[in-house]
């Protein structure tokens, strides 16, 4: 594991590391913010999953999250959004291949060799963080857009592993919208029943844990009607009584201006659960 960035930030340290990920069979990077409290004791961890085309840099440079993590004593970990490098499969367009891992474990060639982001973010990366940093096993997870989909699915498929989950502008029903359908057909094959194992709205019905969901969605988001469709998540949660706080925010779009406006609320939400 090589440290490639090291910057003082709100009394703590923003790092970026590179390592060889066994799950992905390639080199990958992740950001880790250690709040000032980590100098004295182990701290809980909030994992952030970014959206299409992003790396760890989008979150650590644009969200303004370190200020709130320092206030609450929470470590922030932000992985990349897909495997990268020579020999990693790719495709034309921004919504499939590099930068678009969709946080699934691909089953179809050529994607299955490297595209195992679910395994990486839910198992390998937390194991590494808890072994190498002053981190407790109290975990929370959040994300944006494709990463919001990832956060919801990772939490729903791992009952008891996370204390809390939230999302900004998540793709709540990838089996029902173009972004998800394109990615799932490539990564998982043409069996649409198999896709449901990676769809938050489908997982809600049988979720063994009723972990409350916090979702913020901008009403001026250009992808709201075509790709995000948060009403599908509301309907799925209402059908089984799964706790959901869906906050529709007037005037806000899909950008990091939106995330920066409400990231303090989300970190406070997670901090309360992590410290309970």
Using pLDDT thresholds of 50, 70 and 90, give the confidence band for residue 190: very high
Domains of the chain and any CATH numbers? 2-275 (3.40.50.1820)
| Average pLDDT score, the chain | 98
Radius of gyration over every alpha carbon of the chain, rounded to an integer in angstroms: 17
Residues 142, 145, 166, 169: which is the catalytic one?
A: 145
Tens digits of residue pLDDT in 73-124: 999 999 999 999 999 999 999 999 999 999 999 999 999 999 999 999 999 9
Contact between residue 245 and residue 212 where contact means Cβ atoms under 8 Å apart: yes
Percentage of residues of the chain with pLDDT beyond 90: 100
C-alpha span between 85 and 26 (Å, rounded): 7
- pLDDT, residue 123, reads 98
- E strands within 109-224? 135-143, 164-168, 213-218
Active site residue 253: no
Mean pLDDT of 214-228: 98
Active site residue 254: yes
Residue carrying structure tokens 């060889």 = 20
Residues 254, 266, 269, 270: which is the catalytic one?
A: 254
Active site residue 221: yes
Residues 72, 221, 242, 269: which is the catalytic one?
A: 221
End-to-end CA distance of the chain: 32
Assess whether pLDDT exceeds 90 at residue 276: no
Q: What is the CB-side half-sphere exposure of residue 57 using CA atoms within 13 A?
A: 7
In Å, what is the CA distance from 101 to each residue of 89, 146, 228, 229? 11, 9, 17, 20
Any idea how long the chain is? 276
- DSSP SS3 for 47: strand
């Amino acid at each position: 594991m090589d440290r490639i960035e090291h910057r003082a930030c709100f009394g703590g340290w923003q790092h970026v590391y590179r390592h060889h990920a066994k799950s992905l069979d390639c080199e990958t990077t992740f950001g880790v913010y250690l709040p000032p409290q980590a100098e004295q004791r182990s701290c809980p961890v909030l994992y952030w999953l970014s959206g299409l085309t992003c790396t760890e840099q989008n979150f650590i440079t644009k969200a303004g999250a370190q200020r709130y993590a320092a206030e609450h004593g929470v470590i922030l970990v932000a992985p990349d959004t897909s495997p990268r490098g020579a020999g990693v499969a790719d495709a034309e367009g921004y919504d499939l291949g590099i930068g678009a891992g969709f946080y699934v474990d691909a089953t179809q060639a050529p994607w299955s060799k490297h595209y195992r982001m679910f395994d990486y973010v839910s198992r390998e990366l937390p194991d590494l963080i808890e072994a190498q940093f002053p981190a407790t096993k109290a975990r929370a997870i959040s994300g944006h857009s494709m990463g919001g989909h990832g956060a919801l699915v990772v939490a729903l498929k791992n009952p008891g592993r996370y204390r809390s989950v939230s999302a900004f502008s998540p793709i709540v029903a990838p089996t029902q919208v173009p972004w998800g359908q394109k990615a799932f057909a490539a990564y998982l094959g043409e069996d649409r029943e198999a896709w449901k194992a990676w769809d938050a709205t489908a997982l809600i019905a049988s979720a063994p844990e009723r972990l409350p969901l916090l979702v913020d969605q901008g009403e001026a988001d250009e992808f709201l009607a075509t790709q995000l469709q948060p009403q599908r998540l509301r309907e799925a949660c209402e059908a089984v009584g799964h706790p959901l706080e869906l906050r529709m925010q007037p005037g806000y779009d899909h950008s990091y201006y939106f995330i920066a406006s409400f990231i303090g609320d989300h970190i406070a939400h997670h901090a309360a659960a992590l410290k309970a």
